[in-house]
Each structure stands twice: as C-alpha cells, then as structure tokens.
Amino acid sequence: MSDHLDSIDDLPPAKKGAADLRGVRPLDELRGPIPAAADEVHLGDYAKALYKRRWIAITVFLIVFISAVVYTFTATPIFEASTQLLIEIADPNVVAFKEVIEEGQPNPDYYQTQYNILGSRALARRTIDSLGLWNSPLLVGAPVQRPFDIKALVGRLRQDRVESDGPAEETARQSRAINRFLANLAVEPVRNSRLVDVKFRSTNAVFSARVANALARNYVEQMLEYKFTASQEATNWLAERLTEQRTAVERAEVALQQYREQNDSISLEDRENIVVQKLADLSAAVTRAKTERIQKETVERQLRAIENNPAALETFPPILGNAYIQRQKAELAELHRQQAQLSERLQDLHPEMLKLQSVIDSSQTKLRAEIAKVVQSLHSEYQAARTQERSLVAALDEQKGEALSMNRKAIEYSVLARDVESGRQIYESLLQRAKETGVSGELKTSNIRVVDQAEAPLSAVSPRPRLNLGLGAFAGLILAFGVAFLVEYIDSRLKSPEEIKACLGLAPLGIIPEIRKSRSTSPNPLVNQGVPQNFSESFRALRTNVFFSNPDEGPQTLVITSTGPGEGKTIVASNLAISFALDGQRVLLIDADMRRPRVHDVFELDQEPGLSNVLVGDAKPSEALRKTNTAGLWTLTSGRVAPNPSELLGSRRFTDLLDSLGQCFDMIVLDTPPAMVVADSLIAARVASGVVFVVGADMTSRYTAQTCIEQFVRGRARLLGAVLNRVELEKHRYYYSRYYRREYAAYYSAATS
C-alpha cells in the first residue's frame, strides 16, 4: 500500500505553503488568560440546555405524570363531611349572677383551647364509644391520606408519643383506633369569625357525616357536663366552707358575749359616748377656769401693789366701779362742802360743826370699810378661781383616766365585734354564692351551637382527577426542568466552542461531527474514504483555521494532543494531515504516541520500522517513511513500543530528525499521547510550531482541560486553538444549530456534484 524510500534525499525540498500567510493576524491575539467562569448566560442557553437534556426531562415528566394518573384512577374515593359550630365567648345571660366558670373574660387562648379540645383524645374516645366504632372496619382500616400539613404532622407525632403514655385503661387496640380517628379528623376555624368546621374523612359518605355530627354533639354535651361538674364541685366546696364559717361565727359571738359579761360592757357604746361628752365638757370648763384665774391673778397682783396706798386704791377700777363706794364718796364730798360753808360762819367747836364733823368721820369710816370689803372680795375671788381651776383639772384628769380605761376595753370589744361582723358577712356571702351556684348548675345553656349539621357528601374530595392531573403535569414540568438544569449544571464537560473559548481561553478552530457506525464501513473514518460531506467540510474548515492561526513561513510542525484518551486525537491528526495533502502540500504524519500507537491501524501499515527505531538507530529515516494512498501524504509510524518514550522525544536526535524532515515536507503533523496522562506531548510541543488541542464533546471536564492547558502555558508552548471532536450534530441538532443545520447537507451535496 505504501512505498519505501531508498534515501531521504530522494524527496524534493519542501515548498512554500499553499497560501501566503504573511500579514495575517494570528489567532493568538484572540487568546487570553483562562477565565474562571463562562460568559454571561442568555435565555437561549437555557433553551439549548433543556433541548440537550430533553430525554431526561421527558423521562422525569412522564414518571411524575404517570404516577399522578395511576394514583388518581386507582386510589380509593375519600368522602369528607363537615359540621359547622358557633363558639361564643360567653353563655346566654339567663341569670344576673356570675357562674362558676367565667368564659366572658378576654382570653387570647380561649379559641385555640376549644380547637384542641375538639381534636383531643378524650372527645375522640367519647365519640367512638357513643357510636360503637371500636371494631368498625371503616375506622380500624388505614387512615385516610390528607394533603401535606405540617401542623397535622406534628399533631400525629405527638399522638404517637402519647400513645404509650395514655391512661392505663386504654388498650393498645383502642389507642390505635383513636389515633386513626384523629388522623381522619380536621378542625378548621373559619377566618375572621367565631365559626369552626369539624371535618371527618372516610371511604363512606354516610359514615363521615355520622361521625362529624356525633363529634359535634358529644363536644356540646362534654362542655355542658364540664360546667355541671364544675358547679357541683363548687357547691360541695361552698357547703364545706359554710359549715366551717358558721362554726367560726358562733365561736366569735360566744367570745364577744363573755367579754361583755366580764367587763360589764352591756351598754359599752352608750357609756363610751357619755364619758367622751363629759371629757369634752370638763376640758372646756378647765379652759374657762384657767382664763378666769389668769384674769383674777392679774387683778390680784395690781391690788397687792396699791393695797397700802389709799389714794391709789381709790382709783383702782373695781373700786371705781363700785356704786356704793361712789355714793359714799359723793355724800362725803357733800358733807365737806357743808362743813366748808359752816366754817365761814361758825367756829370749829360749834355744836353744828362738831355734829357735822362726826357725820363726816362716820361717812369716812363706812367708805374705808366698804373699800376694805371690795379689796377682800377681790382677794377671795382670786382664791376661789384658783381653787375652782384645781378642782376642774383634777376632775379632768380623773375623766381622762376613765376614758383611757374605757378605750382599752373598747379596743378588745371592737376586735371581737369586728370578728363577729366579718364572719357573719362572709357566711352570708358564701350562703348567697352557694344558692347561685346551685341554680347555675341546673341551667342547661351553652355557648356552643351547631350551625350546620353534616350531610352525606355527594362527591369525593379525593382523588380529584382534574386537579391531580393538572398538579401532576405542573409538578412534572417543574421537576423535569429542575432535573434537566441540575444535570446540565453539574455536568462540567465541554460541549460547545463557546465553552472552549470561555473556559480554556483557546480559539475554537472548528467542530468535527461524530459519524455513526451505520454511515461508515471503516472504524477509522478518513475524509477521502466516503465519509459524510459535513465531516469532510469540518476538516477543510479546520485546515483553513490552522493556516490562519500559524502565519510563519517555512515548514510547520503541528502537535496534535488531547486531555485524555478516547477523544479522537489520532483521527483528527490523520484527517488533518490528509486535508493538508489534498490542498497540494507535502505532509508527513508522525505517530509520536509510542505507548499506544494507532496511525499504522488507520492507514493499514506495518508498525515497524518507525519513529522509535529511527531514534534508537535501528533504522534509517528513509526506511521508516511510508507513502500513503493520498498524494502528498507520508507517514512515520511509532515503531517498536519503547520503554522510554519521553526520553526519546526529548533527545537531540528527535530535534535533528524534525529539522531534516522539515526540509522535505511543508507540514509535519505529530500525533502525541494525551497531555494529562504522560508528558510526551509537552516535550514535543517545545520543538513544534504550534499545538492543536483536541477536546471530545461531552467527554472532557472543563477543570481537567484547564489544568492541562496551564501545563502547556507554563511550558511556553504555542497553542493554536482547540478542536471540538465527536460532536453529535444529528442527536443535538438544535443545540448546535448555529454550526450545522439540515439544509447545509444539501449545500454540500450541490457543491460536490
């Protein structure tokens, strides 16, 4: 199939490339540092991702929707009956007095308490007893499923926990029956009202209505019994307190009577009033006596000061105010006037004069005696005032002592009297309350009324075909979208040229479509062996992009590598070499993968002698070079599998070989091992003109590829760009619509015809 050269010198020198690429802008300028994230995501990207994951989304949607359909048409119909109750805060006001249980007080927890009572185990047990449902298959069977409700779930968990701690008389069978009863029961308050709906679900419509009505009836009866029991307990308690209080009142009255008899306190209240009145009168009298004594004492002091001075004494006010003394003084003055008249006519010894003198002396004697009486009277009045004051003060002190003694007796008397009075009031209050409690206990009024009784429902509440199918379809769509986007999000494999540019920072050189086995008879499709037109056109576009990405003159050496095995780098290298040869260039394809070589299988050549034989000196280059069926394309197979490929590629001999071969060929294509597996491609890239990176679509992780590219960047290799290989254009037609459409195939056919 191929021809050997007698000597490498038989090859003519390499000519210049097919196109003059001087002045062409290299694609290196398009490359930058490897970004950490992709470009901004648009709505179209979501549509593409959803289209690509359509089978996962369709599968999830069908699973959810079919599950909803199966449940809807196989589930047992569930009927729900509802009884509506009105719960008032206060009872009807039949009597004016207060009842034992005060429900009219503002209590924010009142209604919540009533709702909990409606859903209590005690009321459930009472209802089951009244209906005889302990062995009913409608109750003992599995509980009816309800829509998910976190409150109901918490309630069931609490019931399960209380099941083992329930009353001793509650058997395990009864406990399970009550749990199932409560699982089918729902208490739903009507918002912004005092109404509450009591709902019960079962597989029988009549049974649901019967249980709901029985529960409401038993709830009303239980509340009435609770009030009656509370009234009876209060009545009994009040009767006991009445007996005790009656005994206490009797003891207090006996003690008060004994005190009266011992202290002569029969009329203590009247005596106390008299003593107080006398004490007040004596206090006023003492005040008056002191005032009078002070006045008398003042007169006494003045009188003692002038008592020996007759002239001053006559001018003393009490004497001046004495009418008798003034008359005597007037008569004496008249006698002196007569004496003065007679003395003008008569002598002193005249009988008339002597007689008049005798009368004057007698009048003066009377005057002095009267003044002496007045003085003595004033002295007596002062002494009397002092004596009266002392007697009144003594009487007041005595009255005070009597009042204090009376007060001491009154204190203890008042204490005993108050005990009697307070005990009597408490007894009367208890007696009144006992009578009221007895009357209120007989009242059959309730603040709870049934507004609407439950009736047998005509239609089932579950399942609801339209609702279930609608919810199933909606949930299926949401879950399908979510799973599709989740799979797309966690899928880090490179799938498009945009991702290559955004994640790897490499210029996308082209995409190579995947060829189905049914459309290719060869396991190694080559562009000159009857492959689809789009496959051939992809390599022509790749060849052109490689030309523009490497504008240097002279022979070019390209390293073709990939991140890992299985990404199709050998097929890309082979077809790229064929494309260059078909363009009229002299091309040499070297299989530098001396670990797992494949070029000899692609072109159906012998593996030896090859590159390894040439590098170790076992063969000459002219003996190892083989010409293929494609005009202008030569190959150099890998040769014998070497134990040290990296050392061979890094040797001076390999560099000299490339230099000598570069004089004979326009393009040398090196098929190297995967870069993340071994370092062969990194070593070969040092002496190459450029590196073409092959990325398997939906095969290579972006993170692994980034690590691989960083190794080439650190090794200062010239990365020309990346090729997206094995792209399933037909399978993901919409996803790759910007690169390939169905009508393009007709254009290819027209171009080749």
Tens of pLDDT, residue by residue over 714-746, are 888 888 899 988 887 766 555 555 555 555 555
Q: Which residues does 637 contact at the CB level (< 8 Å), separation at least 6?
A: 591, 597, 599, 600, 605, 606, 607, 608, 610, 611, 624, 626
Domains of the chain, start order: 54-75+463-488 (no CATH), 79-234+446-452 (3.30.1890), 268-442 (1.10.287), 493-752 (3.40.50.300)
Mapped onto helix, strand or coil, the DSSP state of residue 40 is: coil
pTM: 0.52
The rounded distance, in Å, linking the Cα atoms of 278 and 403 is 10
Q: What is the pLDDT of residue 601?
A: 86
Q: What is the mean pLDDT of residues 81-108?
A: 65
Q: Which residues are paired to 694 by β-bridges?
A: 562, 723
- Is residue 486 pLDDT above 80, yes or no? yes
- Tell me which H or E stretch contains 306: helix 268-306
The rounded distance, in Å, linking the Cα atoms of 283 and 434 is 54
Q: Which residues does 724 contact at the CB level (< 8 Å), separation at least 6?
A: 494, 496, 497, 500, 508, 510, 511, 512, 695, 697
Eight-state DSSP code of residue 503: I
The rounded distance, in Å, linking the Cα atoms of 236 and 243 is 11
Instruction: With cut-offs at 50, 70 and 90, classify the pLDDT of residue 61.
Output: very high
Instruction: With cut-offs at 50, 70 and 90, classify the pLDDT of residue 238.
Output: confident
The rounded distance, in Å, linking the Cα atoms of 610 and 635 is 9
Mapped onto helix, strand or coil, the DSSP state of residue 693 is: strand
Cα-trace Rg, the chain: 67
Eight-state DSSP code of residue 452: E
Helical segments of 75-195, H only: 110-118, 121-131, 137-140, 150-163, 172-183
Torsion angle of C-alpha atoms 238, 239, 243, 249, degrees rounded to 10: 40
Q: What is the pLDDT of residue 281?
A: 80
Give 269's Cβ-side CA count (13 Å radius): 2
Q: What is the pLDDT of residue 753?
A: 40
Q: For a pLDDT cut of 90, what percent of the chain falls above it?
A: 16
pLDDT tens digits for 494-537?
A: 877 888 888 888 888 888 888 876 555 567 788 877 777 778 88
Instruction: Report the candidate in 664, 658, 673 with the shortest Cα–Cα distance to residue 10.
Output: 664
Q: Which residues does 737 contact at the CB level (< 8 Å), separation at least 6?
A: none
pLDDT tens digits for 591-642?
A: 888 888 888 888 888 888 888 888 888 888 888 888 888 888 999 988 888 7
Give 509's Cβ-side CA count (13 Å radius): 30
pLDDT tens digits for 144-201?
A: 555 545 555 555 555 454 444 444 457 888 888 899 999 999 999 999 899 999 999 9
Cis peptide before 597 (omega within 30 of 0): no
The rounded distance, in Å, linking the Cα atoms of 520 and 528 is 12
The rounded distance, in Å, linking the Cα atoms of 659 and 654 is 9
Q: What is the pLDDT of residue 164?
A: 43
Instruction: Report the candidate in 267, 248, 276 with the shortest Cα–Cα distance to residue 416.
Output: 248
- Is residue 560 pLDDT above 70, yes or no? yes
Instruction: Report the candidate in 556, 575, 549 with the shortest Cα–Cα distance to residue 688.
Output: 556
Q: For a pLDDT cut of 70, what percent of the chain falls above it?
A: 78
Instruction: Report the candidate in 545, 636, 544, 656 with the shortest Cα–Cα distance to residue 588.
Output: 636
Helical segments of 317-350, H only: 317-320, 323-345
The rounded distance, in Å, linking the Cα atoms of 591 and 29 is 30
Strands 195-202 and 185-189: antiparallel
The rounded distance, in Å, linking the Cα atoms of 632 and 580 is 9
Higher pLDDT among residues 542 and 420, named by residue: 542
Q: What is the mean pLDDT of residues 683-701?
A: 88
